[in-house]
Amino acid sequence: MISTLCRFMFACLLLPCLWTVALAQAVSFPELNSAVPGHQDVTYFDLAKMIVPDLKAGDDGFYTGSAPIEMRDILGGNDGGSPPETVNLPNAAVLAIKAGGKDRLAMLLDLGQAQDSAEGFAVLALYDLTGKPKLLDAVNVGTDQSTYFRDPAKLAISPDEEALITMSTHFNSNQGYVGTILILVRDDRFEPIDQINTFDENVCAYKRTQDLSFQTHAGDKPYAAIEVTVTDATKPSGESCEEPAPAAASHDISVIYHWDKAKSRYLRDSDAFEKLSAENAERF
C-alpha cells in the first residue's frame, strides 16, 4: 500500500503536466468503469481485464488483482522488472493511434513494483475496437519506478502510422532519472526503436536539465526519419554554496533514426545517446 500511495501522490504532482499531454496528444485518463466511446457495452475495465484477468474493483477507488498475462519486455532479454504479487491500479492512460492505416487504441497500465524490485511493471497494450474488442499485443515498458506516456505521446511517421513514446522515471531529493522509449507499431505488434536515458540535477549551486524534443522528416519511406534532440543545459543558481557554481551552458545532442529496408527496422546515425548515458552514469 505504501508503494501504491507513493505512485498516487507522484501522479498528483504530475497532473498539470499530464493534462497538458492529454490536450496536446489526446491522452486521456478515463475511469475504468466508464464506457469505451462507440462501445457502450464495453468499459475500460473490460479492456484492463484482458491484461489482469482477475481484476476487480476495491472499496478505495483502486482496482486490485494478481498476476497479469504473460508478455515480453519491449527491450528484449530478461532485464525488465517483475509485476507485483498484488496489483493496485488507480486508472489507465489511453491513446488513439493509427497503425497500418487502421484505428487502434493503446492503453498504458502502471501495475507498480514487485517487492524488492528497482523497476516497476507497466503494460502497454494494443487493442482493435472496430468490432468486438480484441487485444492485439501487450508488452512491459517499465524501466523505472513509474511509467507514463511522454509529451508528445505519439509521432506521425507516415499518413497511416504513428510511433509511440513512453517514459519511466524516479526522483530523489535533487536528482531525476528518465528512460524514454520510442516504439513502432508494425503488423499490430510493438517494436522498440530505441531507449534514451536522461538525468537531471538540482543542487545548491546549479540546476542541470536534459530535455528531449522530437521531430520527423518527411521523405523517407515507408516511415519518416525521426530526429531526437537532448538539450543539456546548466544554469547557476546564484546562491552561496559550498561547491563552486559551473558556468552557464547549453548544447544540443541529436540523433536521427532512419528506416533501413534491408534490416526492416529503424537505425540510428550515431551512438551519441549511448555516450551521454555513460557520462550521466558517472554523475549518479
CA separation for the pair 129, 105 (Å, rounded): 7
Q: Is the pTM of this model over 0.85?
A: yes
- pLDDT for 77 equals 73
Higher per-residue pLDDT: 147 or 118: 147
User: Is residue 21 very low, low, confident or very high in pLDDT (cuts 50, 70, 90)?
Assistant: very low
Residue 85: which of 1, 170, 146 has the closest Cα? 1
- pLDDT for 80 equals 65
Structure confidence by residue, pLDDT tens digits, 163-207 = 999 999 998 888 999 999 999 999 999 999 999 999 999 999 999
CA separation for the pair 96, 104 (Å, rounded): 6
Structure confidence by residue, pLDDT tens digits, 201-254 = 999 999 999 999 999 998 888 999 999 999 999 999 988 898 888 999 999 999
- pLDDT for 7 equals 45
CA separation for the pair 73, 83 (Å, rounded): 12
Structure confidence by residue, pLDDT tens digits, 259-277 = 999 999 999 999 999 999 9
- pLDDT for 79 equals 60
CA separation for the pair 84, 93 (Å, rounded): 19
- pLDDT for 192 equals 97
* One-letter amino acid for residue 245 of the chain: A
Domain count, the chain: 1
pLDDT over threshold 50, residue 152: yes
Higher per-residue pLDDT: 80 or 253: 253
Residue 141: which of 115, 117, 167 has the closest Cα? 167
Name the average pLDDT for the chain: 88
Apex CA 244: angle with CA 241 and CA 245, to 5°?
90
Phi, psi values for residue 3, rounded to 5°: -60, -40
The burial class, CB within 10 Å (0-12 / 13-18 / 19+), for 191 is middle
Higher per-residue pLDDT: 59 or 67: 67
Distances from the Cα of 117 to the Cαs of 120, 145, 234, 279, in angstroms?
7, 9, 32, 25
Mean pLDDT along residues 28-42: 92
pLDDT over threshold 90, residue 102: yes
- In the block, residue with C-alpha cell 502510422: 161
Q: Which domain holds residue 139?
A: 2-281
Percent of residues, the chain, with pLDDT higher than 70: 90
